[in-house]
Homo-oligomer: A and B are copies of this chain.
Amino acid sequence: MPSGVHTLVRRTHEDRVLQLLRQHGGMTRGELAKHIGLSRTTLSEISGNLISRGVVSVTIDDSPRVGRGRPAEILTLDPAAGQYLGVDFSHRRVRVAVMNAAHELIASDVAPYEEPADWGTRVELALGLIERLAEAPELHYEGIQGVAIGFPGPFSPRLPRRRAEPVAEARRVGAELVRTAFERRFGVPVLVDNNTRLAALGEAAWEPSTETEHLLYVRLSAGIGGGLVIGGRLVTGAAGFAGEFGHMSVAGSSVDCRCGKRGCLETIASIDAILRRCTETGAAVTTLAELDAAAAKGDPIVIAALREAGEAVGQVLGSLAVATNPADIVIGGEVAHVSEVVVEQIAATVAYELVPVGGSTPRIRRAVLGDEGGAIGGIIALLRSSPLLAGYATLTADDASAETRLRRSNA
């Protein structure tokens, strides 16, 4: 059997073992083998591997037994050995999520910043949130195996210092401060990457029904970012800047963007841009809540503004789809959830852009992970990078620098 197929089969069996242990809480090898329909030998091989990686632990069933020789060994997921922390710092809030090695979300919470918040304050806020979460009985911070940090905006762990301009340098200093704070607090490897790219990885990994080896992800929120998964790998680019979909140019637009050029997607399809467009065209909506309410009523001015935004997003993603031929396109962020019109219009425009490649239109769907996407994607990148679980997840952050740091931290 080719090794790829062998790995897939083993992975499927592992998943089934983990799923059963989640449902039943603890089982013997014999019970597991019977449930899955495997030989004891194969099951022992799989469980031995899971045990050696610390995903599964063994306890002795010492309940009274009559004439059955040695007591049975019970396998359980080892919650203490395999918990991972994901922390996503966006521009406005910090989100914390904890997952175990079985990809179970154990805890998740969010705290908004009192703006303007410097990185020291943000870290304090995040650590405070983590302390409060610790009250949940299933959480075991002493067993945290790694921390993944998501950062907003263009972020490059690889950018050579000599080429860094002041804003990038400030971002790097902030990232190092956060990394150091979490390394000190937990004494474990800390992985850092752009939070929206991590969310793309989360979306690609989270939907078990789809084979999302080739995926584009865009997040439409206060800002616009995105990520590409190509051939199963998260694209970071030569210097870590990949995924800045918000600053791709849109045909026919000339609005000044905060980035220094004109006509970026963000000037049309961010929350503020949509609100501004609504106001310009006569609909008095000034907040996301008002936008939601007006869209729910079917306010034609608001619907038109949302269609304009969707068309711009569709143009950009459509062009990118002509270039990269994805199987899936995932639309995340608050704007995706204001109205079905947004995703509908994106799908229609993408389909037009893809006329030249005929039969190869990607599936287009809303994100399933919502606000937790960045934190969960970070943990998924971490699970892949962890020496404990190396080879477990099929998707990975293609981020040599982050992996190097992990190794260094482990050394």
Chain A contact residues, CB within 8 Å of chain B: 154, 156, 159, 163-165, 167-168, 213-214, 226, 228, 230-231, 233, 235-245, 247-252, 257, 259-261, 263-264, 315-316, 318-320, 322-327, 352-353, 355-360, 362, 398
Contact = CB atoms under 8 A, between A and B. Distances in A.
Contact of A249 (B213, B226, B243, B315): B315
Given A259-B356, A326-B238, A251 B250 contact: yes
Contacts of A319: 248-249, 316, 319-320
A265 to B, nearest CB: 10
Contacts of A251: 249-252, 263
A324 B250 contact: no
Contacts of A241: 322, 325, 357, 360
A301 B362 CA distance: 42
Nearest to A247: B356
Contacts of A167: 358
Given A165-B358, A238-B214, A323 B252 contact: no
Contacts of A355: 247, 259-261
B398 A231 contact: yes
B214 A244 contact: no
B226 A323 contact: yes
Contacts of A323: 226, 228, 242-245, 248, 320
Contacts of A252: 251-252
A248 B359 contact: no
Task: Tell which of A214, A252, A324 has the most Cβ of chain B within 10 Å.
Answer: A324
Contact of A247 (B231, B242, B247, B357): B357
A82 to B, nearest CB: 26
Task: Tell which of A226, A241, A264, A326 has the most Cβ of chain B within 10 Å.
Answer: A241
Chain A binding surface SS class: loop
A362 B238 contact: yes
Contacts of A163: 359-360
Nearest to A246: B356
A318 B263 CA distance: 13
B231 A233 contact: yes
Nearest to A328: B238
Contacts of A324: 228, 235, 237, 242, 324
A360 B327 contact: no
20 contacts: A156-B360, A159-B360, A167-B358, A168-B358, A214-B237, A231-B235, A235-B324, A237-B326, A238-B325, A244-B356, A248-B353, A249-B251, A249-B315, A251-B263, A252-B252, A261-B352, A261-B353, A261-B355, A319-B319, A320-B323
Given A316-B319, A319-B319, A237 B356 contact: no
Given A324-B228, A325-B236, A356 B213 contact: no
A31 B30 CA distance: 63
Given A249-B319, A251-B263, A261-B355, 5 more contacts: A154-B358, A165-B358, A235-B325, A247-B357, A264-B356
Contacts of A325: 235-242
A356 to B, nearest CB: 4
A197 to B, nearest CB: 11
Contacts of A318: 249
A406 to B, nearest CB: 13
